[in-house]
Structure 1
Amino acid sequence: MKNGVLDSLRVIEFCEGIAGSAAGLQLSEAGAEVIKVELAARPFRRKGALFSVLDRGKRTVSLSSFEELLTLLSGADVFIHELTPAQASANGVDDDSLRRLFPSLVVSAIGGWPQRHALAEAVPRETLVLARLGLLDEQPGHRTGPVFVRMPYANWIACWLCVVGVMARLIARDRDGRGGAAHTSLAQAALVPMSMHWSRAESPTPVFAKGLDKHIPIPLHRCSDGRWLHVHYSPDKAPLMAQALERLGPDEVTRLNAACPESHVAPNFGANRNIFATRPAQEWVEHLWQSDVAAQIAAPFGAIYFDEQAKANGYVVQVDDPLLGKTLQPGPCYSIEPAARLRGPLRLHSEDIASIEVRSPTPAVADTPPCDLPPLQGLKVLDLGAYLAGPFACMLLADLGADVIKVEPPSGDAMRRLERTFSGTQRGKRGVALKLGDPATQPVVEALVRWADVVHHNMRLPAAHKLKIDYEHLKALNPTLLYCHVSAYGPQGPRADWPGFDQLMQASAGWETAQGGEGNPPQWLRFGVGDFFAGLSSLYALLLGLYARNRTGRGQMVASSLLGATLLTMAEAVALDDGSIRAVEVLDSAQAGVSVTHRLYLCGDNAWLAVAALEDDEAQRLLTLLGADPGVWFLTRTRNQAITQLKRHGIAVEAVREAQLDAFLDDPLNAAAGLHAHYPHPIYGHLQQVGAFWDFADLPLALDRAPPALGQHSREVLMQMGFDDVQQQRLIDAGLLRA
């Protein structure tokens, strides 16, 4: 593993979009040889600085035909592509053909929709997928109605789903002797954050039924210098805020609070807003940091490249790009040994296929019977995390077949107060309610650690040391342990142990400013993307560690962070040598789109549609059709009339659906594609949630266990670890165990 964990692997990447190209980058910087191919007859449309980042360090080759692609695939370990099932079949690279020709090859197709979905042949464009799913209506805006989502978050999540699926399939290949599918899609990626929101219960509690409405007030406060500050949870105990509240007096605080919507995170939301307006943002944020209150200024887009914490962790790297000169770009966003590293800048010139060394195919084990177990069946995981990023990663391990034991305090994970959100990150696990850090429970913790292959958590490391669940303590108990930690700001630098949350990373990276729209106040992207990026990147690092351990027998600590994973999504806005940020598309003030050809339009019947004419000739046809005033063109037609005419001219368009929670969960097309999951729950009765995020074809996923009730499996798990009823009851009586 001289060049990285994957240094023996060859990856063929046939991708034009963000998701597949970013997946190839992740595999490349983990050590794989990645060869990006395109057809000479139809070269890829790669524009802007984004692909200087996503294609850096890869070999590129221009092919004359799919026959030449098959020649390359004969010696490859992984093939990533964006072809629809019909396109793949027409060109001889469908799953059945590849399985027959190259039985050890791992294949990941990233479509717009799952391969088993009725929309599998639809053009894979994110805005259209979000419109069809109804997710543009889930994002709050400065106006009523659905809004354009500026961050291509589904593409970035699909990148991580792809590489996690590939790693899971490679690990299964070690077990089974065969390759196979590890497919995902933009639709499945877009649904990842909706696991927090889109679920139904037969007997919901009032809290579960309420969920989190998209209109809840977000604590973005304007300061005296006009800058905006995002504060997570109540700032009331910070001295400056406490003094100001006291000066206002209870009657005035009550009056100011009544003038603003009620906040579930800040009881004095209205008064806080008034007080924050009295001082500049930098003064406030430094004071809040000193008071251990998580906060960030909503920064300009791309300013994060100059953040000392980002640089300290290698999340920002200098790259001498052949087109842009010296640039600052996102670096690897996780840590592992051997370390992920850059493989060089973008290569401008394609190689001839004759220059690619011919490799013999990895042999399949011919006499191994077909395996119908999930990819990670048998992996034992101890989940010590809370809130979202850590538990979500462990939920995906359970989806992939791992046996996951979640340990939370007897009072419950702090996220349980948001019941629907909590349930969306916990399925598949066995739940134990145990107090950590008490001498009486230490034998149970030690038994769990000896049982586990993996320990995963996202608490701050000083707390982990205090509870004796840091890596050094646990490695002494289990030397081959894989220990995975998710932090807010990364393991190095002055903010290594600071609290942080998704919203704050969106603020510091500039995404809140970008989502607000030109000239508007910043706005949080409701989908909680930073948490999911961090959880998925930690899962990728963990599976790299598992792949390495299967070869070396050595455990290790791996890590990821909200800051690093969110910063990766800034790739379209690299910093140039003069300190400026490369220009990017700007969301308009109406939050409707970034151009005439990529935006939402309101039609004459008060219905919205989305247009994504991203090909040059397609965009020109659209502009010709719409004429001088595109808005009038749409307002003089009903949505159905507009869609009919646009499709007749070959324009990619989709109706923007609204209020889709029940419609999504009732849709038989989604059910047929595996996008629903159902199971009995001890409190909620029949529970329905968002389903599969991958399709492994011949290997199943484990989507048959509901999220655990508090302490639901405490007795079962402790009995398995060797603690009898008397020992368990002693812990229960002491308030250290809940069962």
Structure 2
Amino acid sequence: MGGPLEGFRVVDCSRGLAGPRATGVLADYGAQVWWVEPPGGDPFREVLATEYAVFNRGKRGVQLDLKTNAGRDGLDGLLAGADLLVTSWRPGVTERLGLDWERVHERFPRLIYASITGFGEDGTLADVPGHEAIVQSYVGVSAEQVGLREPPIYEGLPFASIGAAYLAVIGSLAALYRRAEDGRGRYVQTSLVDGALSYLGMLWGDADNVSAAPPVVPGSIRLISQSFRCADDEYIGVHTGAVGAFGRLIGELGLGDRLAVAEDGSDMRIPLSEEERRIVLEEVPAVFETQPRDIWLKRLLAADVAAIPELRNGQIFDEPQVRHNNMVIEVEDPLLGPLEQVAPAIRFGGLDHRPVAGAPRVGQHDGQLPSVLAAEDAAVTAAGSAGGDRQPLLAGLRVLDAGAYYAGPFSSRLLADLGADVIKLETTLGDQLRGIQRPFRSASAGKRAISLNLKDPDLHAARDALIKWADVVLHNMRPGAAERVGLGYEHVHELNPQAVYLYAPGWGSHGPDATRQSFAPLMSGYVGIGYEVAGQYNPPMWPVGNEDPGNGLAGAVGILTALLHQTRSATGIYVENPQLNATMSHAAHIVRRPDGTMLGAERLDPLQTGIGPLDRFYETRDGWICVVALSDSEIRRLEPVLAITILDDPRWATHDLRIQYGYELADALSERFAQSDSQDWLTRLWAAGVAAMIPKTRSNNEAFHRDPINQAIGRIAQVTDTDGRFVREAATMVRVSGATPAPHRLAPEFGAHTDEILHELGYTPDKITELRHRGSIR
């Protein structure tokens, strides 16, 4: 069955983690993707074997030497019939190749050109290779991830690359959607720094009124989000973010007489006293150690408290809901053989596309290139390019967001960043996440807010009018809840058959676990990421880059994919984006062979310093240095700096040998790095063209938000709150030419636009006053 992107053609000139993942998403949903490799193949094929097996599945592979006229001519032949070009070249490389945006756009004016760099387009770090660990060290992830020692901690989840991949897809799909209207190609730019920020924005933020919004620390409010060791030495993840869940958990633990709970369930807005904090931090963990995990799971699920088992890698493949969601596919990889892989996360009603072909061999489709594309070149080129205005990219798009917490609402926030008009629909109790200012602001920036009691018959007309107004309707309620308040798919489709409908449930719309609660970072622990970021032999830990932003990013991809499909089909479409599916995509680089062998898992060392001797942190004479040298050419540049032989040493001649004898190589490198200071090493390594960075050991939040470069390119916005004080937060994380950036607006106050929107829907001032008086609106 064809996917929603069938008929679109993508040319992929990227390498590494972010670019191939981005184009892999497009291939998974039906686009025809041509993977362009240099002669002999991508230099990271061996190092990233499992990643490439997944993210390049279903693509067509060709070899082109873009340093030659013949190679560039071959690329032009591909681009003549393409909709999108994706690159990951560092700034300056495209100009040397004659493949910069200006020259490509002149030849192919309808082509969307997406560039994913390590550090962005400001150029200050243009010469530093943008590997995952290097960027995370620069941004400050190394100071944020919890570990078993003092920072820096190597992050075991490559969420900067995951975020950059999603952002590139979001920007590209939005540009293609706009192109359907004005025929104009555009330049889409994002980076691994932006990718990291798309996750860190949930936790980060900077404001002049710091005292008004202190950081939320464990035990400071009535929220328990933690992994607990049980009597059988297994771990259980627990989250009390749902209305009333804190009280239900405390009662189940037998502590109800010592911890007060809110009668209306809004515990997250109430701080704990010092004694209550001591109970949460000390006594609650002790109670969990009294019974095995299976017993606690049964008890907490019966009490309607979000709880999951922390699984080890591979166990998730056999879970009943995972199989019910068809989240495991079997693919024959030409290098690794038959593999079970994580399936595409997003489901489109009637348009699901199941990848069956593995990643192509080097040059597998070289001979097919001219005949496949020649027939369409002339027609596509002749279409030309219509003029375009410079309004925000998604100006005119109307979104009704009935979601709550973070994962669902973050999808529409990403659309608001690009100019969509998003109305956040809340109950009269309000979004529970409002109790934690920082993540709420991140999830709902740029929106308008209306608060309605949809059980009041006098507001059914408002609800239905909003449905008819919207181009997109989305929510992440548990199954059945939307139907009870008139926001179910059938009702929405009946009133507005052109609308795209995104449902983002925790586990799925149906199946054995469909009615269970879902909260981040529990789902990360469920799919095995807790053990991935903890390092070998260690107990599980919560990842910094958790599934809430990931689910939101995937949801935005789903919406835009459906909208792009709608430009050709003129019909609405049902889209489902379960948090379980999206979280499994975070660990998609982990695959399983038929004999049960897991590949790509548990690569982080016990001390959480890295995933191999040439991708890790090393102690220096006065601190730490992060060094990444994965390809042979990168290793050759490293060798003279350290006065060490690696590639010509039989112990370390190949990537597999460098992993097998990794501790010996790491010991040799450790001796070298201990001889000089971090800054001295950084200067010498950069001069040799080696990827290196001094990892942050303290939070970089404030400095990052106050960086004038980040503010100048729009990555960070500085705006004023209702009291006139400055707030700085993540803003435009993907930048697109030919479109004015939408002005950044702080998340709305509770019910801030209720009167305005009801007036737009035809309600009189007297009726609005009456509704407020009886508590039906806020």
- Residues 90-109 of structure 1 show CA distances to partners (whole Å, capped at 9, x for unaligned) of 11211101110000001111
Matches for 1:175-194 after TM superposition, within 5 Å: 175-194=181-200
Distance, in Å, in 1 between the alignment partners of 2:617 and 2:225 is 24
Other-structure match for 2:467:
449
Other-structure match for 2:513:
495
User: What's the CA shift for 1:617?
Assistant: 4.4
- Residues 396-424 of structure 1 show CA distances to partners (whole Å, capped at 9, x for unaligned) of 11111111111112332111111121111
Other-structure match for 2:653:
none
- Aligned partner letter, 1:413: D
SS in 2 for 1:405: strand
Deviates more, 1:304-313 or 1:282-291: 282-291
Other-structure match for 2:301:
289
Other-structure match for 2:17:
18
Other-structure match for 1:257:
none
SS in 1 for 2:589: helix
Distance, in Å, in 1 between the alignment partners of 2:209 and 2:549 is 28
Other-structure match for 2:81:
75
Kindly indicate whether the alpha-carbon contact (under 8 Å) linking 1:514 and 1:587 is maintained by their aligned counterparts in 2: yes
- Residues 572-596 of structure 1 show CA distances to partners (whole Å, capped at 9, x for unaligned) of 2211101221253521222111222
Distance, in Å, in 2 between the alignment partners of 1:266 and 1:414 is 24
Other-structure match for 1:516:
534
User: What's the CA shift for 1:693?
Assistant: 1.0
SS in 2 for 1:656: coil
**Residue of structure 2 aligned with 1:651, choices 683, 690, 693:** 690
SS in 2 for 1:68: helix
The answer to whether residue 615 in structure 2 is matched with residue 615 in structure 1 is no
Distance, in Å, in 2 between the alignment partners of 1:571 and 1:176 is 36
Deviates more, 1:426-435 or 1:619-628: 619-628
- Aligned partner letter, 2:299: H
Kindly indicate whether the alpha-carbon contact (under 8 Å) linking 1:139 and 1:214 is maintained by their aligned counterparts in 2: no
**Residue of structure 2 aligned with 1:567, choices 584, 593, 617:** 584
- Residues 497-556 of structure 1 show CA distances to partners (whole Å, capped at 9, x for unaligned) of 2211121211111110111122221110123x2111211111111112112222222112
**Residue of structure 1 aligned with 2:566, choices 549, 570, 575:** 549
Matches for 1:67-466 after TM superposition, within 5 Å: 67-203=73-209, 206=212, 208-211=213-216, 219-233=226-240, 242=251, 245=254, 268-336=280-348, 337-349=350-362, 350-352=364-366, 353-358=369-374, 359-360=376-377, 362-363=380-381, 368-466=386-484
- Return closer, same or farther for 1:366/1:37 CA change in 2, 3 Å cut-off: closer
SS in 2 for 1:727: helix
- Aligned partner letter, 1:290: A
Other-structure match for 1:666:
706
Distance, in Å, in 2 between the alignment partners of 1:262 and 1:636 is 47
Q: TM-score, normalising length from structure 2?
A: 0.88
Distance, in Å, in 2 between the alignment partners of 1:417 and 1:298 is 27
The answer to whether residue 514 in structure 2 is matched with residue 475 in structure 1 is no
- Return closer, same or farther for 1:598/1:43 CA change in 2, 3 Å cut-off: closer
Q: Which residues of structure 1 form unaligned runs of 5+? A: 252-259
Distance, in Å, in 2 between the alignment partners of 1:245 and 1:316 is 40
User: What's the CA shift for 1:715?
Assistant: 1.3
Deviates more, 1:77-86 or 1:33-42: 33-42
Deviates more, 1:414-423 or 1:367-376: 367-376
Q: Which residues of structure 2 form unaligned runs of 5+? A: 66-70, 260-271, 645-666
- Return closer, same or farther for 1:343/1:23 CA change in 2, 3 Å cut-off: farther
- Return closer, same or farther for 1:421/1:340 CA change in 2, 3 Å cut-off: same
Kindly indicate whether the alpha-carbon contact (under 8 Å) linking 1:516 and 1:523 is maintained by their aligned counterparts in 2: yes
User: What's the CA shift for 1:88?
Assistant: 0.9
Distance, in Å, in 2 between the alignment partners of 1:524 and 1:556 is 35
- Return closer, same or farther for 1:715/1:473 CA change in 2, 3 Å cut-off: same
User: What's the CA shift for 1:484?
Assistant: 0.6
- CA RMSD across the alignment: 2.7
SS in 2 for 1:36: strand
Distance, in Å, in 2 between the alignment partners of 1:578 and 1:564 is 24
Q: TM-score, normalising length from structure 1?
A: 0.92
- Residues 9-52 of structure 1 show CA distances to partners (whole Å, capped at 9, x for unaligned) of 11111122121112212111222111111121664321322211
User: What's the CA shift for 1:476?
Assistant: 2.1
Distance, in Å, in 1 between the alignment partners of 2:373 and 2:274 is 64
- Return closer, same or farther for 1:35/1:173 CA change in 2, 3 Å cut-off: same
- Aligned partner letter, 2:29: A
Kindly indicate whether the alpha-carbon contact (under 8 Å) linking 1:49 and 1:571 is maintained by their aligned counterparts in 2: no
SS in 1 for 2:745: coil
Distance, in Å, in 2 between the alignment partners of 1:197 and 1:520 is 25
SS in 1 for 2:433: helix
Distance, in Å, in 2 between the alignment partners of 1:100 and 1:735 is 59
- Aligned partner letter, 2:214: A
- Aligned partner letter, 1:46: R
Distance, in Å, in 1 between the alignment partners of 2:219 and 2:682 is 28
Kindly indicate whether the alpha-carbon contact (under 8 Å) linking 2:392 and 2:418 is maintained by their aligned counterparts in 1: yes
SS in 2 for 1:93: coil
Distance, in Å, in 2 between the alignment partners of 1:155 and 1:262 is 40
SS in 2 for 1:706: coil
Distance, in Å, in 1 between the alignment partners of 2:273 and 2:638 is 42
- Residues 71-130 of structure 1 show CA distances to partners (whole Å, capped at 9, x for unaligned) of 211111111111123111111211101110000001111110222453344312111111
Matches for 1:594-633 after TM superposition, within 5 Å: 594-605=611-622, 607-619=623-635, 622=638, 625=642, 628-633=667-672
- Aligned partner letter, 2:124: A
SS in 1 for 2:23: helix
- Return closer, same or farther for 1:612/1:724 CA change in 2, 3 Å cut-off: same
SS in 2 for 1:109: strand
User: What's the CA shift for 1:673?
Assistant: 2.5
**Residue of structure 1 aligned with 2:721, choices 681, 696, 714:** 681
Other-structure match for 2:769:
729
Deviates more, 1:181-190 or 1:595-604: 595-604
- Aligned partner letter, 1:245: G
- Return closer, same or farther for 1:243/1:166 CA change in 2, 3 Å cut-off: closer
Alignment: residue pair count: 724
Distance, in Å, in 2 between the alignment partners of 1:661 and 1:363 is 47
Distance, in Å, in 2 between the alignment partners of 1:623 and 1:142 is 31
